[in-house]
């Protein structure tokens, strides 16, 4: 009897493994014949360059200061560290042996040329929406880059996650393969924006929450990226002044807006890339994002109008006054004193964006559900970009103790928003300051993780900036 049960179990396991293997198995696509030169229409390559900017491929596939697209950037995930791969056309270490068919399959299904399942850190859950035609242009662009001989370090993932075939199961659960389908009831511009934002733009990779399997959960309801909160960009957007099509367009194109401040952290790369796109595409993305955010409620609108009205009043008052400095008084709490003496000089100066500090009544970081971005900005500031004019903010990590920072953050939260106090402040501050929670510190403008970017700190050590 016992023997039969064991045999039965073994049989079941064999069948289960067999079925899994059958599902998980993807064939190798024959390598390209490298003796045959690749030839592409320059117009196709140019189109691919613009699409690569939408996809921001360079951000993950380049280590700051190293060769573009050669991979090797460490991407910390809750499961372990994944290293981006070399997507230059080097035949041995890059994608030089990939045919267009192999590239199309990777984008659509997340499988490499040899048939290995790829980890969804490569956002094929979004890229599957990209059209065959656009993938062709991307392929043309990448295959005409400078080949770089470089192999990224091995991923640091625990078993069984390190066993790629289990990704087949992940894909059954979480991957919806298929190109974008336009909504015939919407305008052409809206559909173009949706195609770009939901596909190559992969906004949701950062701006959507993830479940415990690392799969997207919700739609643009707020996530995180490289140690920064990626705010909700649906109706739950924490921006005190609601976004609209015009402000989104200006922000995505220029990297700042008078009511929203300067894009920073990983978003700075996104806006730097989008600034190179055709105007119409940025407008289309803005149109679509604005429609996902929807019209703000009457209450939110009126609060925003009140903020703007108050700030305009202040500006007029300041213009009439010779002394624009906020003055500390002895009755101030510690947080208020620090704010007035260290922060208000810039943040209440009335100097225009992007070089003045944003008034914190308009700050999404202050109004957000978690304090991470406020912590990051206060500790590390916005470093100067390399060789171009950029917004900067000094970091205060060296001169403020945890006690002082907590007092400051609580004061700011209390004064500038009617949201409840943050409960996770001390723990987040501790984890950030110690480097246990890794924050990528990036300059505020003009960045690409291209060959000359030396402004970015990439050593995993948050204590230096």
* Binding footprint of another protein on the chain (CB under 8 A): 65, 327-328, 337-338, 340-342, 345-346, 383-384, 386, 392-394, 396-401, 404, 454-455, 464
For another protein, the closer CB: 321 or 401: 401
For another protein, the closer CB: 213 or 355: 355
DSSP letter (8 states) at residue 385: P
67 phi and psi angles, rounded to 5 deg: -65, 140
Q: At its nearest, how many Å lie between another protein and the CB of residue 327?
A: 8
378 phi and psi angles, rounded to 5 deg: -70, -40
Q: At its nearest, how many Å lie between another protein and the CB of residue 450?
A: 14
Instruction: Please check whether residue 395 is in contact with residue 406, taking contact to mean a CB–CB distance below 8 angstroms.
Output: no
For another protein, the closer CB: 307 or 392: 392
For another protein, the closer CB: 289 or 343: 343
Which residues lie below 8 Å from residue 291, measured CB to CB, with a gap of 6+? Answer: 190
Q: At its nearest, how many Å lie between another protein and the CB of residue 68?
A: 16
Query: CB atoms < 10 A from the CB of 136, how many?
Result: 17
The C-alpha atoms of residue 447 and residue 68 are separated, in whole angstroms, by: 13
Instruction: Please check whether residue 114 is in contact with residue 28, taking contact to mean a CB–CB distance below 8 angstroms.
Output: yes
Closest CA to 234 of 251, 250, 246, 218: 218
For another protein, the closer CB: 194 or 382: 382
First to last CA, the chain: 68
The C-alpha atoms of residue 288 and residue 197 are separated, in whole angstroms, by: 8
CA-to-CA separations, 231 to 83, 149, 207, in angstroms, rounded: 25, 37, 6
For another protein, the closer CB: 261 or 397: 397
The C-alpha atoms of residue 95 and residue 102 are separated, in whole angstroms, by: 10
For another protein, the closer CB: 244 or 458: 458
Q: At its nearest, how many Å lie between another protein and the CB of residue 328?
A: 4
Residue 216 forms beta bridges with which residues? 210
Instruction: Please give the sequence-ordered ranges of beta strands (E in DSSP) within 309-451, or none if there are none.
Output: none
The residue to which tokens 């100066």 are assigned: 349
For another protein, the closer CB: 149 or 351: 351
Q: At its nearest, how many Å lie between another protein and the CB of residue 256?
A: 16
Q: At its nearest, how many Å lie between another protein and the CB of residue 148?
A: 19
Q: At its nearest, how many Å lie between another protein and the CB of residue 465?
A: 9
Q: At its nearest, how many Å lie between another protein and the CB of residue 316?
A: 22
Q: At its nearest, how many Å lie between another protein and the CB of residue 407?
A: 11
3-state secondary structure string, 142-186? HHCCCCCCCCCCCCECCCCCCCCCHHHHHHHHHCCCCCCCCCCCC
Largest CA distance in the chain: 96
For another protein, the closer CB: 361 or 396: 396
């Amino acid at each position: 009897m016992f023997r039969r049960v064991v045999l039965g179990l073994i049989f079941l396991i064999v069948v289960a493994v067999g079925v899994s293997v059958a599902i998980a198995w993807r064939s190798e696509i024959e390598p390209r014949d490298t003796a045959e030169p690749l030839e592409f229409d320059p117009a196709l390559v140019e189109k691919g360059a613009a699409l690569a900017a939408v996809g921001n491929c360079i951000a993950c596939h380049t280590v700051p200061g190293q060769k573009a697209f050669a991979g090797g950037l460490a991407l910390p995930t809750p499961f372990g560290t994944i290293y981006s791969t070399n997507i230059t056309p080097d035949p041995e270490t890059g994608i030089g042996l990939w045919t267009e068919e192999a590239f199309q399959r990777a984008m659509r299904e997340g499988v490499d040329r040899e048939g290995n399942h790829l980890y969804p850190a490569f956002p094929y859950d979004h890229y599957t929406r990209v059209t065959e035609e656009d993938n062709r242009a991307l392929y043309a662009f990448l295959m005409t880059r400078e080949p770089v001989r470089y192999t990224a370090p091995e991923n640091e993932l625990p078993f069984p996650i390190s066993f790629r075939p289990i990704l087949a199961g992940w894909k059954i659960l979480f991957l919806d393969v298929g190109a974008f389908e336009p909504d015939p009831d919407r305008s052409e511009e809206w559909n173009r924006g949706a195609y770009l934002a939901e596909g190559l733009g992969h906004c949701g990779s950062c701006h959507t929450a993830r479940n415990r399997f690392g799969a997207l959960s919700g739609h643009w309801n707020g996530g995180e990226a490289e140690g920064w909160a990626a705010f909700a960009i649906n109706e739950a957007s924490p921006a005190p002044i609601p976004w609209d099509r015009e402000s989104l367009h200006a922000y995505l194109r220029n990297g700042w807006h008078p009511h929203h401040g300067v894009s920073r952290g990983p978003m700075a790369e996104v806006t730097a890339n989008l600034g190179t796109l055709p105007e119409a595409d940025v407008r289309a993305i803005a149109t679509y994002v604005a429609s996902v955010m929807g019209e703000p409620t009457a209450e939110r609108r009126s609060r925003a109008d009140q903020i703007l009205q108050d700030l305009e009043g202040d500006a007029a008052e300041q213009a009439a006054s010779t002394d624009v400095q906020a003055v500390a008084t002895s009755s101030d709490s510690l947080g208020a004193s620090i704010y007035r003496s260290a922060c208000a000089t810039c943040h209440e100066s009335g100097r225009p964006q992007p070089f003045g500090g944003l008034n914190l009544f308009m700050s999404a970081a202050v109004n957000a559900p978690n304090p991470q971005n406020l912590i990051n900005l206060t500790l590390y500031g916005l470093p100067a970009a390399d060789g171009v004019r950029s917004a900067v903010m000094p970091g205060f990590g060296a001169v403020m103790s945890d006690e002082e920072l907590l007092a400051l953050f609580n004061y700011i939260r209390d004064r500038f928003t009617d949201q409840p106090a943050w409960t996770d402040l001390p723990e987040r501050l501790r984890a950030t300051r110690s480097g246990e929670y890794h924050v990528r510190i990036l300059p505020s403008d003009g960045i690409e993780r291209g060959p000359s970017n030396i402004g970015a700190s990439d050593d995993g050590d948050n204590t230096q900036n």
